[in-house]
Structure 1
């Protein structure tokens, strides 16, 4: 592919890297054996989840805000964010002595809200999505003269995020494929600009949550289109409309934009916890989720770098996602059996589950229902298993014992 007409240049990305050199340190790049075996090529993880404030966002926020004039800094800044950009702007404001106001969706993760407050920002929670919060941020900027720090659609933001691309080349100079989570496109655009000029033959893949994917339809139409639906746990990439700055870069420089399912992100998050010992939020796990979902059907040339864009996750959401990921990975099994409502029936089921080495997590008795006779009880079970093959073995064993098995959807 040929370079885009974007005004962001590698020279400007290098200038941003110099600016950031006293603010942040390069994040680690870790080889992951388990993912490499799944993909069939060497895979490295670019750990932006270990960045200051927990994501790559400080790169663009500090670059943008440090270049404001003294008069602009005095007026303060305003931003809209689901969480990571909010923390990046608030941290940059703290370091630069700039007052920060952030509009966040009402359902923004509480740890992201609290962390943003801890950096000294004022927060107003309004709207259900980033796009709705952005409307209020723009209105405040127009009303007060505060400078809007857009989460992705600005020259300096893209230049700052592009410094991650420079680090990728320094840490993995022979990289052949780079996979990056995609929301508004600031990180992907910045990385793409750096890589296309410095290593033009590298394959660049953007990954969106399939339930919040505005880019595929926009690329097909040739211009930004709003997403038809926005329903994903990956709040960090839940952006309804590509930006005017980022869209042409993604269109011209990125080889393909793919999507990943909610289950794929859950499995990736669980995989990264278990196999890489890394805490990553759903948006940050999107690149790994796509690799795991496509390892059997698409040949990806290595070395591969998957960018883990952020690690700011609500512990309560983490618990739910771990359970969701365990179900998606076949590590939990849910089913019910219908048995006579007599003493000893439950004890027999528990013993039979133990006989196939399945650990029981939850048990529920159901005595009324259209298919349950008056002398019967339905016992719903949630089991911990070792994977899909073990699940099948448990169900086969239950049927062999004569139980009527009702599998959960």
Structure 2
């Protein structure tokens, strides 16, 4: 079964046919209780309409600004709820978790506010700033493992040795119930929504949100979106139970888990309507769209919901009222410039090509005139006389140019051809 926009509009019937029974371990009452439990420590984030996003998406768009939480993500909801639910003995001994970022930050912050010791094991690829911030928030940080699975294994060893409670970031009942409070808020803020789009990693967020929304407004579609390089949840649905998958590097690092949560799968499989898979270019473009149109800096995982809407894989939402969960804002600034460039390339606003021009006086001027007449802005140009063709009267120029869109890039290449200038593209679209 292929799980994306080419699948039937609703997947619930197929998912329900699997042998795994539906979970009764978590109910709407648990989510409602979690909301009261965490109310004093969690921000009620706004969910305003977005006119500019509606114009480019072709539907009514509302953005749940969950990146405005203190540590920058929805993870605070589940972390606080799970910590409060601990026994007095467990609170005194402390908790531990494996996380590359947001779950660790949320536990560190709320553990500190509740007086509960927190240890986090972070894989070696976790951004240095997130490691530093966890320590600033009072957590004990150990960096171990080249993958999340290795970090989790190490966390389990420490938990056994020190008697700590392991708090899973997406498969813990308290964490899922806390995440579900997002669904309650969305229904109150946009009561007649047609669909909510939820980023999909291990499944804790979509499980909680789907349980809340389907319990109170079953006609609302719950759509999950996963990165093409991290497909643990769809693989679990196809297999009928969680399976290990190999993840590839992705801009949506918060979704890059190798195995979906079993409890999350039980809850979500009966309630999720559709899963859309987005590419790295889709994610990069969504991050940049949010910067340009919403003036918001959202990490790749948080922007995945917009990526799904802009990917063209949800035509059935045209004209409808849609909520995007922008669930995290902890983007790694060391890759931000690369992400922006990738998005500009995907958007047809940045291209790189090599052209062979005359090395005689006026050759470069003639070439520049073509670019000027088209309104193309030159970002960088490099002459290459050494590794060019044997023609001593010619020189290669490597150009990076800023353009309006893909159509202008195509027009540029047509003009170069008409002028007799040989060229080939390195990046961009012919």
**TM-score tier (shorter):** over 0.9
What's the secondary structure of 1:169's corresponding residue?
helix
Distance, in Å, in 2 between the alignment partners of 1:335 and 1:329 is: 16
Q: Which moved more, 1:90-99 or 1:3-12?
A: 3-12
In the TM superposition, residue 34 of structure 1 has moved relative to its aligned partner by 2.7
Per-residue CA deviations over 1:239-268 (Å, capped at 9, x if unaligned) read: 110111101112111112221100000110
What residue is the counterpart of 2:236 in the other structure? Answer: 218
In the TM superposition, residue 128 of structure 1 has moved relative to its aligned partner by 2.3
Q: Which residue of the other structure, out of 172, 175, 181, is the alignment partner of 1:163?
A: 181
In the TM superposition, residue 50 of structure 1 has moved relative to its aligned partner by 1.2
Distance, in Å, in 2 between the alignment partners of 1:236 and 1:33 is: 27
TM-score (norm 1): 0.95
Conserved 8 A contact 2:247-2:257: no
Distance, in Å, in 2 between the alignment partners of 1:41 and 1:356 is: 34
In the TM superposition, residue 344 of structure 1 has moved relative to its aligned partner by 4.0
Distance, in Å, in 2 between the alignment partners of 1:247 and 1:402 is: 59
What residue is the counterpart of 1:234 in the other structure? Answer: 252
In the TM superposition, residue 158 of structure 1 has moved relative to its aligned partner by 0.4
Distance, in Å, in 2 between the alignment partners of 1:155 and 1:371 is: 66
- Structure-to-structure mapping, 1:261-300, within 5 angstroms: 261-294=279-312, 297-300=315-318
What's the secondary structure of 1:60's corresponding residue?
helix
Q: Which residue of the other structure, out of 93, 100, 114, is the alignment partner of 1:96?
A: 114
Per-residue CA deviations over 1:11-31 (Å, capped at 9, x if unaligned) read: 111111111111122111121
Distance, in Å, in 2 between the alignment partners of 1:294 and 1:184 is: 24
Q: Which residue of the other structure, out of 32, 48, 51, is the alignment partner of 1:14?
A: 32
In the TM superposition, residue 300 of structure 1 has moved relative to its aligned partner by 4.9
What residue is the counterpart of 1:341 in the other structure? Answer: 359
What residue is the counterpart of 1:354 in the other structure? Answer: 372
Conserved 8 A contact 2:308-2:314: no
Q: Which moved more, 1:339-348 or 1:66-75?
A: 339-348
Per-residue CA deviations over 1:305-349 (Å, capped at 9, x if unaligned) read: 110110001222111111110100001011110123344433432
Conserved 8 A contact 1:177-1:300: no
TM-score (norm 2): 0.91
Distance, in Å, in 2 between the alignment partners of 1:298 and 1:321 is: 29
Distance, in Å, in 1 between the alignment partners of 2:315 and 2:322 is: 16
In the TM superposition, residue 122 of structure 1 has moved relative to its aligned partner by 1.6
What residue is the counterpart of 1:244 in the other structure? Answer: 262
- Structure-to-structure mapping, 1:378-393, within 5 angstroms: 378-393=396-411
What's the secondary structure of 1:79's corresponding residue?
strand
Per-residue CA deviations over 1:333-368 (Å, capped at 9, x if unaligned) read: 111101233444334323331221111111122234
Distance, in Å, in 2 between the alignment partners of 1:313 and 1:381 is: 30
Are 2:171 and 1:153 equivalent residues in the alignment?
yes
Are 2:156 and 1:134 equivalent residues in the alignment?
no
What's the secondary structure of 2:125's corresponding residue?
coil
Are 2:40 and 1:30 equivalent residues in the alignment?
no
What residue is the counterpart of 2:385 in the other structure? Answer: 367
Conserved 8 A contact 1:39-1:296: no
Per-residue CA deviations over 1:28-68 (Å, capped at 9, x if unaligned) read: 11212232233322111111111220000000001001121
What's the secondary structure of 1:143's corresponding residue?
helix
What's the secondary structure of 2:381's corresponding residue?
strand
Conserved 8 A contact 1:105-1:126: yes
Conserved 8 A contact 2:23-2:263: no
Distance, in Å, in 1 between the alignment partners of 2:198 and 2:24 is: 19
Distance, in Å, in 1 between the alignment partners of 2:26 and 2:164 is: 24
What's the secondary structure of 2:212's corresponding residue?
helix
Distance, in Å, in 1 between the alignment partners of 2:24 and 2:144 is: 33
